[in-house]
Structures are given as structure tokens and as C-alpha cells.
């Protein structure tokens, strides 16, 4: 799914109006109807709605929503500045709303003394994507007032006070919503931790913006959705053998840290590599052979890895539990100089590289690195926020010719061409030691099976998150373990195979 800027969204609306063709107020009705459908299906225990409307088209959406909810039997209070200059469609919808005697239209400044009972839902239709500066004056006061109310809050298109494409300043007032009902596509600000914290659960509602406009409009930002994954996924062929699916080799482990190598090896096996090897120190032999009998053990040292023999026919995932012993550091850097194919680098492999920035240049082209924010900082330098970190990541991915999987709540895959793919699967249950080791194994396995580097990163991150969702359903975010995530990989593949077969 493409992510569009606020300007592109406005152009998309206008293109649809002109080319469908459809009157602009009918497009507003379409958006309002989609919101009301979701609200009535998901808010069955509430009867009262306090709807706050601005003077622009977002306010027009709010007026239409108020009318439709009232006709479905809900109690509605609408808050608006009656002296504002309304957009044409918002003005028409407000005029139509006032014809319903059962809907109370109040002034915005009445909100402070309004009685919000526990069955009242607050709907925010103040600004949407039309915001151009931080809120001040009565709107800032209003948002601050609403934020302290315990009521469920639903924002239409965007939480008021939030910008679509840029970060808000720390002192700005933004409505902290429980749900955001947004139209057609994700907005960039929904996907970053500093701004996404205001959206609550995001629901993308289809309002049939022109497919031609969506197809022909360029962007560098995308959300990974199931439709994208179904075009990437390659079902297992009947007439195939283990050689068809490549050789994956995990380089990792050291005394006391063999668990990381085990997790990575197990996830590589579960993801389907034809042959899986683990190059680890001798101290991990019994652990690996007993926990991963399907994998082939290669000794690379005694208590730590101190030598690596290169096999150009294997795809390597390097880093889980590796440690940063001097001998290990020396062997890893020498390995990177000798190996020319794309590989996966994580954890201590990245920490070793970060000790000398010159080492970045020996990462093979098209490789995939998977830093969390702190590892990213050690590699490339500090940034003020995740928006700046992403732009630095774009620069470094292009400069080094590599793929950067920047781990976060919504992990970002940054390509050498400057494209960014945001992942929306997963949950906070993955915020545990070992989750990154699993991802390394998944990525190494997919790369060994012949997926392109870009598809490996996109599919691997999505698969990891999807398995995490299934594990959380079974065990909860708090109690799920990395091994539970590994055990759910098979179910994800089973569901994916089923969906691809149905499409055929």
C-alpha cells in the first residue's frame, strides 16, 4: 500500500471528483458512511456521541457522521464555532444538520462544562490532514480539555494537532485518540513512535479514491500489506528437492550465549531453507546438536569463533550471540573481506563493524543489516528523532548499497534506492531478548531460498511480526516467548498457502 503526503491526498480527492466523476459532497458522504459503518459495528455499548467539528472538510465529515448516527438512533451533540468560515461542503452539511431538531449544536467553548458520561464517545473531526501549524488559542485549550477526559476518543482521518508528514514539536497539543479512522491509506506520522502514540488503533477505510490516481502517483513510502506479501510469496513446488531451497548458515554463539544461535538456527529451519548449517564454537556443539538436530554443525573455535571457512554457495546470517572477543572480531572482519555475496548482519556483527566506520565499506553490496535504534546510532551516528533517523538511513543505504531493516514498533525496510517499507505486523510481545535472533534466521533462510534481497527483507519482517501476533493470541504479549514465535511460523505459511491457492 502506498503512503501519500497530505498534498497527494488532496490531489487524489480532486482527481476522483473530476474523473469518476462525483460531486465533492458525495465523496464526503462516502467517507462519512464508511466511518459510521465502522462505528456502529464496533461501538454497540455506547449511545451518546459528542462530535467536535472544524470549519474545513474534516468538519464536514463530522457533520455528515452526526446526521447518519442520529438517524440510526444515537444521541448526538455537535460542537462547532458558529462564526467560522466554512468550506462549501462543510457549510452545506452543517445546514442540513440543523434541520434535525433532535441534534443539539453547541459552541466549542461549551466543552469545558459539558457532562461527558461514561457512555459518551468523543469524535474528533476538527482538522484532519488540513493542519498547517501547531494548535493555539481556543483549539489548544479544547484539545487539552478533551485529553483529560476518560471517554473513548475517535479521530476522523487524523488526530487533531498531528501533522501528516512531519513530526510535531514536543510542546504541541495533539488529541490522544483511542482509534483513528483514516481514509484510503496510512499516513507517515502514524508509523513513527513520537507521533504514532497519538493515533491509538488505526483503521484504514476504503472510500474508493481513483485507482488510476493511486497507480500513477509516485511515492517512496509504502506499508507492507497482505496483498504485497501474496505477490512476493513463492509456494513450495512439488517437483523440488533440498538443493532447490539453498544453504543457510548461521554464524553465531559464544560461551554463555549459545541460545541466540539456537533461536536463529531454529527459525531458519522453520522458514524452509533446504540445508541449514550453524557455524559456532565447540562449546556449543552439544547444545546445538540436541536442540537443532536438523541443522549441520560447523566448528569455528573453542569458546568463541576465531576462524571461518568461506563457502560461496552458502548464504550467511552473522551475529546472534557472537560476542566481541578480539579473535572473533578479527575473524568476522576477515570473513567480510573474503565473502562477496549478500548476507544478513545483526547484533554483535554490527557492534564489531561499528568500532571502526571504515569497516562499513567491507559489507558486501545488497546485504541486509538489522539494527535496533541503538545499534543504528553506533553505526551511523545520533539523530534527534525517528524521522531524522529514517532520513539518515536512506542516505546510508544508498551510499553503501545495502538494505537497512531498522527495527522499531513499525520496523522500516530502507532500500538502496531510497524506498521505505513500513511493517505493521507484530506487537510489544516481541520486545524481548531473542526476537532479533529469530528475525536473522528468517531472513537468512529466505535469502538462501532465492528471494531477492528486497523481497527477503519485506517478507521476512512481515512473517516475523505475523508469527508474533499468533503467539500473543495464544500466550499474551507478556508471556509469549521467542520459541513460541518460531512455533507459529508454520501456521503463517499454512494460512498464506491457503490464501494464494484461493486467489489462483
pLDDT digits (tens, 9 = 90+) for 380-396: 999 999 999 999 999 99
User: What per-residue confidence (pLDDT) applies to 130?
Assistant: 79
Would you tell me how many other CB atoms lie within 10 Å of the CB of residue 498?
A: 10
Residues in the chain: 504
Lateral strand order in the sheet of 201-205: 104-107, 75-80, 48-53, 120-125, 153-156, 179-183, 201-205
Handedness of CA 455, 381, 264, 359 (dihedral sign): positive
Task: Please enumerate in sequence order all residues whose Cβ is within 8 A of that of 333, keeping only pairs 6 or more positions apart, or say none.
Answer: 352, 353, 359, 362
Task: Please enumerate in sequence order all residues whose Cβ is within 8 A of that of 476, keeping only pairs 6 or more positions apart, or say none.
Answer: 429
User: What per-residue confidence (pLDDT) applies to 392?
Assistant: 98
* Residue 87 to residue 59: CA distance in whole angstroms: 9
Cα angle value 369/243/458 (rounded, 5°): 30
User: What per-residue confidence (pLDDT) applies to 504?
Assistant: 57
* Residue 279 to residue 300: CA distance in whole angstroms: 6
- In terms of pTM, does the model score above 0.75? yes
Domains and CATH numbers, the chain: 6-219 (3.40.50.10260), 230-503 (3.40.1190.20)
User: What per-residue confidence (pLDDT) applies to 133?
Assistant: 87
Pair 184, 12: CB distance under 8 Å: yes
- Tell me the DSSP string of 313-329: TSEEEE-TT----HHHH
**Which residues of the chain, if any, have pLDDT below 70?**
503-504
* Residue 170 to residue 158: CA distance in whole angstroms: 18
Would you tell me how many other CB atoms lie within 10 Å of the CB of residue 465?
A: 21
Pair 4, 219: CB distance under 8 Å: yes
User: What per-residue confidence (pLDDT) applies to 503?
Assistant: 67
Amino acid at each position: 500500500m502506498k503512503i501519500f503526503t497530505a498534498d497527494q491526498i488532496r490531489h487524489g480527492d480532486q482527481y476522483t471528483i473530476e474523473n469518476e466523476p462525483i460531486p465533492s459532497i458525495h465523496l464526503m458522504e462516502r467517507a462519512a458512511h464508511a466511518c459510521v459503518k465502522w462505528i456502529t459495528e464496533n461501538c454497540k455499548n455506547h449511545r451518546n456521541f459528542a462530535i467536535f467539528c472544524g470549519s474545513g472538510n474534516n468538519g464536514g465529515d463530522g457533520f455528515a457522521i452526526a446526521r447518519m448516527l442520529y438517524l440510526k438512533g444515537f444521541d448526538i451533540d455537535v460542537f462547532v464555532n458558529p462564526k467560522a468560515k466554512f468550506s462549501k461542503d462543510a457549510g452545506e452539511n452543517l445546514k442540513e444538520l440543523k434541520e434535525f431538531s433532535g441534534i443539539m449544536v453547541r459552541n466549542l467553548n461549551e466543552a469545558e462544562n459539558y457532562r461527558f458520561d461514561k457512555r459518551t464517545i468523543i469524535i474528533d473531526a476538527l482538522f484532519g490532514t488540513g493542519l498547517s501549524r501547531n494548535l493555539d488559542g481556543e483549539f489548544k485549550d479544547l484539545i487539552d480539555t478533551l485529553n483529560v477526559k476518560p471517554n473513548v476518543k475517535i479521530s476522523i482521518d487524523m488526530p487533531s494537532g498531528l501533522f501528516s508528514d512531519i513530526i510535531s514539536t514536543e510542546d504541541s497539543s495533539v488529541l490522544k485518540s483511542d482509534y483513528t479512522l483514516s481514509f484510503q491509506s496510512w499516513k507517515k506520522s502514524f508509523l513513527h513512535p513520537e507521533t504514532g502514540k497519538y493515533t491509538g488503533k488505526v483503521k484504514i477505510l476504503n472510500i474508493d479514491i481513483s485507482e488510476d490516481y493511486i497507480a500513477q502517483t509516485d511515492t517512496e513510502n509504502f506499508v507492507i500489506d497482505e496483498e504485497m506479501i501474496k505477490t512476493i510469496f513463492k509456494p513450495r513446488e512439488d517437483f523440488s528437492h533440498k538443493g532447490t531451497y539453498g544453504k543457510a548458515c548461521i554464524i553465531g554463539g559464544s560461551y554463555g550465549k549459545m541460545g541466540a544461535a539456537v533461536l536463529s538456527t531454529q527459525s531458519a529451519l522453520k522458514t524452509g531453507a533446504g540445508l541449514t548449517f550453524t557455524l559456532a564454537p565447540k562449546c556449543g556443539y552439544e547444545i546445538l546438536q540436541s536442540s537443532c538436530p536438523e541443522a549441520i554443525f560447523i566448528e569455528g573455535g573453542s569458546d568463541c569463533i576465531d576462524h571461518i571457512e568461506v563457502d560461496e554457495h552458502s548464504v550467511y546470517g552473522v551475529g546472534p550471540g557472537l560476542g566481541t572477543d578480539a579473535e572473533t572480531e578479527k575473524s568476522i572482519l576477515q570473513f567480510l573481506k573474503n565473502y562477496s555475496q549478500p548476507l544478513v548482519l545483526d547484533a554483535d556483527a554490527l557492534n564489531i563493524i561499528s568500532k571502526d566506520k571504515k569497516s562499513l565499506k567491507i559489507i558486501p553490496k545488497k546485504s541486509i543489516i538489522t539494527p535496533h535504534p541503538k545499534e543504528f546510532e553506533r553505526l551511523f551516528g545520533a539523530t534527534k528523532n525517528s524521522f531524522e533517523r529514517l532520513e539518515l538511513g536512506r542516505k546510508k543505504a544508498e551510499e553503501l548499497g545495502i538494505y537497512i531493516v531498522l527495527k522499531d514498533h513499525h520496523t522500516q525496510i530502507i532500500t538502496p534506492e531510497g524506498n521505505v517499507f513500513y511493517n505493521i505486523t507484530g506487537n510489544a510481545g516481541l520486545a524481548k531478548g531473542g526476537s532479533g535472533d529469530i528475525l536473522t534466521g528468517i531472513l537468512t533462510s529466505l535469502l538462501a531460498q532465492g528471494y531477492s534481497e528486497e523481497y527477503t527483507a519485506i517478507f521476512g519482517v512481515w512473517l516475523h511480526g505475523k508469527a508474533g501476533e499468533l503467539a500473543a493470541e495464544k500466550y499474551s504479549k507478556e508471556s509469549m516467548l521467542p520459541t513460541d514465535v518460531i512455533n507459529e511460523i508454520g501456521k503463517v505459511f499454512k494460512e498464506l498457502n491457503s490464501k494464494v491457492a484461493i486467489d489462483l
